[in-house]
Amino acid sequence: MGRVGVLLLNLGGPDELDDVRHFLFNLFSDPEIIRIPVPAFQKPLAWLISTLREKKSKANYQVIGGGSPLRRITEAQAQALKDKLQEKGQDAEMYIGMRYWHPYTEEAIASIKRDRITKLVILPLYPQFSISTSGSSFRLLEKLWQEDPALQQIEYTVIPSWYQQPDYLHAMAQMTAKELDQFSNPDEVQIFFSAHGVPVSYVEEAGDPYQKEIEECTKLIIKNLNRPNPYTLAYQSRVGPVEWLKPYTEDAIPELGAKGVKDLLVVPISFVSEHIETLQEIDVEYRELAEESGIHNFHRVPALDTNPLFIEGLANLVVDALDAPSVKLAQVSQLKKKVKMYPQERWEWGMTTAAEVWNGRLAMIGFLALIIELISGQGPLHFVGLL
Ligand SMILES: C=CC1=C(C)c2cc3[nH]c(cc4nc(cc5[nH]c(cc1n2)c(C)c5CCC(=O)O)C(CCC(=O)O)=C4C)c(C)c3C=C
Ligand SMILES: [Fe+2]
């Protein structure tokens, strides 16, 4: 079969507090996360948002120990997957390609070329597909492939999403059952699936299947769990002023409290590792909100991390993908984000309303940049390394 490799795709997170601003800059530089009509302004805008968000974001990472645990956990998952594949008689090298922090996807690709991998399975560590997560990594890989004839020699296949994988669903159901049994009345507990949100326009304008996959996934976990508990799904981690998928977790918790719910079990659904949004947002912010809303028994299902049944599921995905017809990057990165813009925002050259709107916005960005530079002594050119 040649030399087999598995490329695990993930988001990445700052290793330490000093990395936070640069990590945020990378994230907001991605047009799959925030798209503006004039691509030349993507990086200045990313610089502005990362500068404005740095303090809040750093405070949150400080709460969870001063950095993201994502790299450590993804490395442990890669090792566990390698061992499980070996047990199944499949030797494979593991590579981790993070989208916004080290080890970057480009670093993983360089190692794959150096190791002369001939057959590659591309496996995102997101169970459900979103344009903003797996989609963004696939688009980057597609670009790298188009630019590099050496990569085009590698036989590869992509696993676009895998939320229906039976071992994954069993692992989620088992972990949920274990937490339910910690309550004094397990059958009365309200199960609360909390998924990372995305802007509504991703789903409604650009056809992101994320919401549909999340909804199906919760139903499959409940079916596997086979318990009588009521359950709810809500979306967390909203960023910026636009409308995101609803209900928002921060509204749904007080509503349940007002209905008299006392026992709540949160199940994080869109990510398989502990990260800032489980450890800080759910365990600290939403716990406090639940307490204020009269929900005194608040528990959370831990992330899967290296759960053996989950790793078995990943190994089965890889083995099956090696046998199946290959899926190409062009097939899975086709979804192009067409975020709805107001007519005056659509770019037109000349003395138009669009020009007035965009000139006004850019003047505001420039003015804010000036103030930030005056306060911090650092401007956008320092940040992109030009000064
Ligand atoms: C499936 C999971 C995720 C989706 C969908 C997603 C979309 C999305 N995220 C942002 C903005 C931010 N995300 C941030 C961190 C972050 N996001 C995810 C997962 C999804 N994001 C994870 C796992 C993490 C944490 C990594 C870690 O360090 O542990 C952040 C930075 C943290 C913060 O400042 O709050 C931002 C900002 C957008 C805008 C978006 C969809 C458009
Ligand atoms: Fe995010």
Q: What is the CATH number of the domain that holds 249?
A: 3.40.50.1400
- Give the predicted TM-score (pTM) of the model: 0.89
Count of the separate structural domains present in the chain: 3
pLDDT score of 2: 87
Cβ contact 70:275 at 8 Å: yes
Give yes or no for residue 9 having a pLDDT over 70.
Answer: yes
C-alpha span between 81 and 307 (Å, rounded): 11
Q: In a 10 Å sphere around its CB, with 0-12 CB exposed, 13-18 middle and 19+ buried, how is residue 248 labelled? A: middle
Q: Coil, strand or helix: which one is 11?
A: coil
Cβ contact 61:69 at 8 Å: no
Q: Atom of ligand 1 at shortest distance to CA of 277?
A: 25
Question: Across 130-144, 337-351, 372-386, which has the greatest mean pLDDT?
Answer: 130-144
Is 216 within the bounds of a domain?
yes
Distance 196 CA to ligand 2 centre (A): 7
Domain identity same for 170 and 159 = no
Indicate the helix (H) or strand (E) that contains 106.
helix 105-114
- Cα separations (Å) of 38 from 34, 227, 243? 12, 51, 22
E runs forming strands in the chain: 4-10, 93-98, 119-124, 155-158, 190-196, 231-236, 263-268, 297-300
Domain identity same for 190 and 281 = yes
Q: What is the percent of the chain where pLDDT is above 70?
A: 86
Question: Which phi and psi angles does 68 have, rounded to 5°?
Answer: -85, 140
Average pLDDT over residues 281-298: 98
Q: Coil, strand or helix: which one is 5?
A: strand
Distance 114 CA to ligand 1 centre (A): 31
Average pLDDT over residues 230-256: 96
Domain identity same for 192 and 257 = yes
Is 343 within the bounds of a domain?
no
Sheet holding 231-236, edge to edge: 231-236, 190-196, 263-268, 297-300
Domain identity same for 17 and 55 = yes
Is 188 within the bounds of a domain?
yes
DSSP labels, 196-242: E--BHHHHHTT--THHHHHHHHHHHHHHHH-----EEEEEE---SSS
Domain identity same for 139 and 81 = yes
Is 217 within the bounds of a domain?
yes
Domain identity same for 223 and 197 = yes
Average pLDDT over residues 31-47: 91
Domain identity same for 257 and 121 = no
Instruction: Give the pocket of ligand 1 (CB within 6 Å).
Output: 11, 13, 27, 33, 53, 57, 68, 70, 126, 130, 132-133, 196, 198-199, 239, 270-271, 275-277
pLDDT score of 339: 47
Is 67 within the bounds of a domain?
yes
Q: From 255, 283, 300, give the residue that closes a domain.
A: 300
Domain identity same for 150 and 17 = yes
C-alpha span between 303 and 281 (Å, rounded): 14
Strand partners, 8: 96, 123
Ligand positioned closest to the Cα atom of 214: 1
Domain identity same for 138 and 171 = no
Domain identity same for 196 and 108 = no
Q: What is the β-pairing status of strands 190-196 and 263-268? A: parallel
Which residues are CB-contacts of 289 (< 8 A; sequence separation ≥ 6)?
250, 253, 254
Distance 273 CA to ligand 2 centre (A): 13
Ligand positioned closest to the Cα atom of 66: 1
Average pLDDT over residues 138-160: 97
Domain of 369, in residue numbers? 353-383
Residue nearest atom 3 in ligand 1 by C-alpha distance: 196
Pocket mutation for ligand 1, best pick of 237, 270, 279, 280 (most atoms within 8 Å of C-beta): 237
Is 83 within the bounds of a domain?
yes
Which residues are CB-contacts of 255 (< 8 A; sequence separation ≥ 6)?
247
Pocket mutation for ligand 1, best pick of 132, 134, 137 (most atoms within 8 Å of C-beta): 132
Q: In a 10 Å sphere around its CB, with 0-12 CB exposed, 13-18 middle and 19+ buried, how is residue 70 labelled? A: buried
Give yes or no for residue 377 having a pLDDT over 70.
Answer: no
Is 235 within the bounds of a domain?
yes
Domain identity same for 76 and 198 = no
Q: Atom of ligand 1 at shortest distance to CA of 199?
A: 42
Complex ipTM value: 0.91
Give yes or no for residue 344 having a pLDDT over 70.
Answer: no
C-alpha span between 381 and 387 (Å, rounded): 6
pLDDT, tens digit (0-9, with 9 covering 90-100), for 189-223: 999 999 999 999 999 999 999 999 999 999 999 99
Q: Atom of ligand 1 at shortest distance to CA of 67?
A: 28
Is 245 within the bounds of a domain?
yes
pLDDT score of 378: 65
- Residue 19 DSSP label: G
Average pLDDT over residues 71-79: 98
Distance 172 CA to ligand 2 centre (A): 21
Domain identity same for 155 and 203 = no
pLDDT, tens digit (0-9, with 9 covering 90-100), for 295-331: 999 999 999 999 999 999 999 999 999 999 999 999 9
Pocket mutation for ligand 1, best pick of 11, 28, 57 (most atoms within 8 Å of C-beta): 11
